[in-house]
Amino acid sequence: MSILVVSVSHKTAPMDLLARLTLPADVTSKVLSSLLSSEHVDEAVVLSTCNRTELYAAVTRFHGGLQALTETVEQIVGISVETLQDNCAVFYDEAAVSHCFSVTSGLDSMVRGEHQILGQVRQSLNHAQSEGAVGTTLNALFQQALRVAKRVQTETAAGTAGRSLVTASLAELADRGIDVGGLRALVVGAGSMAALAAHTLDDRGAAVTLVNRTLEKADRLADAVGGRARPLEELTDALDHADVVVTCTGARGLRLTADDLRHTPVRGVVDLALPADVADEVGELPGVELVNLDVLARIAHDESGGIADGLGAGAGEIAEAEAVVAEEVKDFLGLRRAAAVAPTVVALRSMAQDVMTAELARLNARLPYLGDKEREEIQTAVRRVVEKLLHQPTVRVKQLAAMPDTPDYAAALRELFALDSAAIEAVSQSR
């Protein structure tokens, strides 16, 4: 089973297209169900964040799997295959493993080295598991990706600095002359991004007020940061008592316009929602600075389209983290290649067992006068001979299979011993 990834991210597509591809849980479930109905897709996971939407699949064929993924997006999300192909990156097998590990470790994020993606990946995996869309292939991939990300966080400088979209946005505001320390900060929303914003603002000395559609959630978060909670119906009044606004709801029904902020004391607005919570025209108000995902994307990319050193971890820190990821990718692929040869080894041993059993039965028929002790000695000797003959080749083929860029020794075994392909497939399906 091969791994295929279709990725639409801040690196490949404009924010308006990413906004259209932001998939709530119910739509994600439909996408998973549709993918699993394809004859070429056995497993699937959908990762959708404010930076990216990615479809991971365990596929039997590359082209058939790619067609299933792109046509599913067209049918359910309404984005044509052509548009998707023009704005995506495709990763297959070994490249897909490397990409997954890098994404989960925050190395492919808009803010490199950020930690929030780890929780988002875990949540996406859990959702796919609850939908019955994850089997051994993607479970092994994502479980290892989560472990790799933890290692990057604990062992490298890129993972220990606590970077996030929130810290990057506040740094941009500071560069524009707005330091949040001592200011009144209004956080709209109470999800994971809002929680990160509230805690970050509190740590930097801002007085935090939270506004959310569900007041109970805002209350709990406000208690954690020593702030105040208000219902969404009081947003207009809350804006009249705020210097800085951070909004990250992604709710399609919320839209702050220039008119909403024109006569307020708000000086800085951070919009981390996708789709956006704040109209671009807000950035044109006199004395108001707007930092949104479009702004961060421009900062994150240099003129050549690559990731710049100015947002997130620096080149040295990233190189350190990438070395960890590369090591883990190599080890994972080695284990995967070794596991792939296991059905062939099992089939070879099974064939040898059948041959040995048949020959012992023939011997028993030809020498009926042998006593039980003699028969047991002969059977033991034959088994030892077969085991010794098979031991070195089967151990060696697993070792060689784990090495990159080696011939397909499993295929050689299948050809040399005329192994039954159906039997090998049956072993593969049972593992």
Secondary structure (H, E, C), 57-97: EEECCHHHHHHHHHHHHHHHHCCCHHHHHHCCEEEECHHHH
d(CA 281, CA 256): 10
Token pair of 355 as six digits: 């041959």
Q: Helix, strand, coil shares of the chain as percentages rounded to 5?
A: 60, 15, 30
What is the residue whose two structure tokens read 């040399």?
Answer: 416
pTM above 0.85, yes or no: no
Q: With b meaning 16 or more CB within 10 Å and e meaning fewer, what string describes 232-268?
A: beebeebbeebbbbbbbbbeeebebeeebbeebebbb
On the question of pLDDT at 274 being above 70, the answer is yes
pLDDT digits (tens, 9 = 90+) for 390-404: 888 777 777 766 666
- Is the backbone peptide bond immediately before 343 cis, with ω within 30 degrees of 0? no
Fold of 2-162: Beta Polymerase; domain 2 (3.30.460)
Cβ(103)–Cβ(325) under 8 Å?
Answer: no
pLDDT per position as a tens digit, 188-230: 998 889 999 999 999 999 999 999 999 999 999 999 999 999 9
Residues facing residue 2 across a β-bridge:
59
Rounded to the nearest integer, the mean pLDDT of the chain is: 88
pLDDT tens track for 32-82: 999 999 999 999 999 999 889 999 999 999 999 999 999 999 999 999 999
Q: With contact defined as beta carbons under 8 Å apart, do 288 and 178 qualify? A: no
Domain with CATH 3.40.50.720 in the chain: 165-300
Report phi then psi at 299, rounded to 5.
-70, -35
pLDDT-based confidence at residue 305 (cuts at 50, 70, 90): very low
Which residues are paired to 100 by β-bridges?
A: none
CATH of 165-300, one of 3.40.50.300, 3.20.20.60, 2.60.40.10, 3.40.50.720: 3.40.50.720
| Tens digits of residue pLDDT in 418-428 | 777 766 665 56
Block residue for tokens 């709710």: 251
Tell me the mean pLDDT in the region 332-360: 80
Cβ-based burial of 159 (10 A; exposed 0-12, middle 13-18, buried ≥19)? buried
Is 99 in a helix, a strand, or coil? helix
DSSP alpha helices (H): ranges in 131-191? 136-155, 165-175
The token duo for 186 is 């209004």
- Type and span of the H or E element at 362: helix 315-366
Whether residue 248 lies in the annotated active site: no
Helix, strand, or coil (residue 42): strand
Q: What is the pLDDT of residue 364?
A: 85
- Asked if residue 107 has pLDDT above 80, the reply is yes
CATH 3.30.460.30 intervals, the chain: 2-162
Q: Where are the alpha helices (DSSP H) in 92-248?
A: 94-104, 116-130, 136-155, 165-175, 192-203, 215-225, 235-239
For position 309, what pLDDT does the model report? 43
The helix/strand/coil state of 250 is coil
